[in-house]
């Protein structure tokens, strides 16, 4: 099992939008839907669809949106530890998708601000069989960010739990402070814009190197959308993975899907470089549907859809890895 903890929001997704109507005017769009978002909903659901049992930890408000979100988590989580906080609204966002697939966000703060997670709860997760702890999004969790988060990650590491951190781009945050947290993190997969804020480096290779030098213990990936991903496996050097040529329909949650692919592959016993390629494949599939993660399926089924090639170094589903990928853990 993998524990996913942190942000959980209600996303009102609308689009595609050409131009916003002026005051008192209206415009027709193709769809309006409410979907759960945030790290717990995105990475958690993607992991579950990839066949990995998930324990979900987050906070919602005691309102209608909170009830909808909790029911959604119940549909895929092996363990649901979502807390409903009285007198708080559920954190919510409007995600406006333009015709060129770019996105704009309007966010209303809520119960996410109250989310907390402790070392004792990490011990509880281990007793339930959790092997990894993924937390997102740091810098948007005022009840956990800073020393509390560092203590939780340190406690997880001492218990032999793989620690993974996620962030999301947001202005006016003390991003460089995250460098102090890196020695407690095994896996970190920021986008290039996020990595630039944290390290000051605009080159993916230099940003990945800076994160490893700051202390990340096993694996760093700096993602850059259609421009591919720069990976550094600690102690084994860097590699560039080009993006797969797909028709992107909705890129919301692509970074979360990448991380889910990496963690799912690790959970099945694949080496980090192959895990990175699985992450790239999963993220590519994730953006090809208008409904979030509709095309994701278990890793075993992905093997059937994307069969092995002769290039075992570059194909994560090669014959030499296939037994590990299908192993039950």
User: Band of the pLDDT at 329, cuts 50, 70, 90?
Assistant: very low
Task: For the sheet with 92-98, list strands across it.
Answer: 31-37, 9-17, 92-98, 103-108
DSSP track, 245-311: ----S--TTHHHHHHHHHHHHHHTT--HHHHHHHHHHHHHHHTTSSSTTTT---HHHHHHHS---S-
Give the β-pairing of 54-61 and 103-108: unpaired
Judge: domain 2-20+29-326, CATH 3.40.1190.20.
Answer: yes
Tokens standing for residue 301: 């089924």
pLDDT digits (tens, 9 = 90+) for 222-270: 999 889 999 999 999 999 998 888 777 666 778 999 999 999 999 999 9
Q: Please tell me the distance from the alpha carbon of residue 244 to that of residue 283, in angstroms, as a whole number.
A: 9
Q: Residue 277: CA atoms inside 13 Å, Cβ hemisphere, count?
A: 17
User: Band of the pLDDT at 114, cuts 50, 70, 90?
Assistant: very high
- What mean pLDDT do residues 139-151 have? 96
- 188 in Cβ contact with 164 (< 8 Å): yes
- 131 in Cβ contact with 161 (< 8 Å): yes
Would you say residue 47 has pLDDT above 50?
yes
pLDDT digits (tens, 9 = 90+) for 3-25: 999 999 999 988 888 888 889 98
- 20 in Cβ contact with 269 (< 8 Å): no
Domain ranges of the chain: 2-20+29-326
Q: What is the pLDDT of residue 246?
A: 79
Q: What is the pLDDT of residue 290?
A: 65
Q: What is the pLDDT of residue 264?
A: 96
Give the best-scoring range by mean pLDDT among 279-283, 300-304, 306-310: 279-283
Residues across the chain: 329
Q: Is the pTM of this model over 0.85?
A: yes
- What mean pLDDT do residues 282-303 have? 78
More confident residue, 299 or 134: 134
Q: Average pLDDT over the chain, rounded to whole?
A: 88
pLDDT digits (tens, 9 = 90+) for 62-74: 999 999 999 999 9
Q: What is the pLDDT of residue 74?
A: 94
Q: What is the pLDDT of residue 279?
A: 92
Would you say residue 312 has pLDDT above 70?
no
Q: What is the pLDDT of residue 306?
A: 67
What proportion of the chain, given as a percentage, has pLDDT over 70? 91
For residue 238, count other CB atoms closer than 10 A to its CB: 15
More confident residue, 313 or 177: 177
Query: Token match 């402790």: residue?
Result: 118
Q: What is the pLDDT of residue 307?
A: 55
């Amino acid at each position: 099992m993998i524990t996913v903890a942190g942000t959980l929001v209600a996303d009102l997704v609308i689009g595609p939008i050409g131009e916003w109507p002026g005051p008192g005017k209206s415009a027709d769009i193709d769809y309006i839907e409410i979907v759960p978002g945030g790290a717990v909903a995105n990475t958690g659901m993607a992991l579950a669809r990839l066949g990995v049992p998930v324990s979900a930890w987050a906070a919602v408000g005691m309102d209608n949106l909170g009830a909808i979100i909790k029911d959604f988590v119940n549909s895929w989580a092996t363990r649901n530890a979502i807390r409903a906080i009285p007198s708080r609204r559920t954190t919510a966002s409007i995600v406006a998708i333009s015709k060129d697939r770019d996105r704009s966000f309007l966010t209303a703060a809520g119960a996410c601000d109250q989310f907390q997670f402790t070392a004792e709860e990490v011990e509880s997760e281990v007793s339930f069989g959790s092997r990894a702890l993924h937390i997102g999004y740091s810098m948007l969790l005022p009840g956990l960010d800073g020393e509390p988060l560092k203590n939780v990650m340190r406690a997880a590491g001492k218990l032999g739990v793989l620690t993974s951190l996620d962030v999301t781009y947001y202005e006016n945050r003390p991003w460089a402070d995250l460098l102090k947290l890196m020695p407690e993190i095994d896996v970190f997969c920021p986008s290039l814009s996020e990595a630039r804020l944290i390290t000051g480096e605009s080159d993916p290779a230099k940003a990945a190197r800076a994160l490893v030098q700051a202390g990340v213990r096993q694996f760093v990936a700096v993602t850059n959308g259609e421009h591919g991903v720069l990976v550094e496996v600690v102690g084994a050097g860097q590699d560039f993975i080009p993006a797969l040529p797909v028709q992107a329909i909705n890129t919301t949650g692509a970074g979360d899907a990448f991380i889910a692919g990496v963690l799912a592959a690790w959970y099945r016993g694949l080496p980090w470089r192959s895990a990175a390629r699985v992450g790239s494949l999963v993220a590519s599939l994730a953006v090809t549907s208008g409904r979030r993660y509709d095309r994701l399926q278990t890793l075993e089924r992905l093997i059937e859809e994307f069969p092995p090639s002769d290039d075992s170094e570059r194909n994560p589903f090669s014959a030499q890895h296939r037994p590990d990928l299908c192993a039950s853990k």
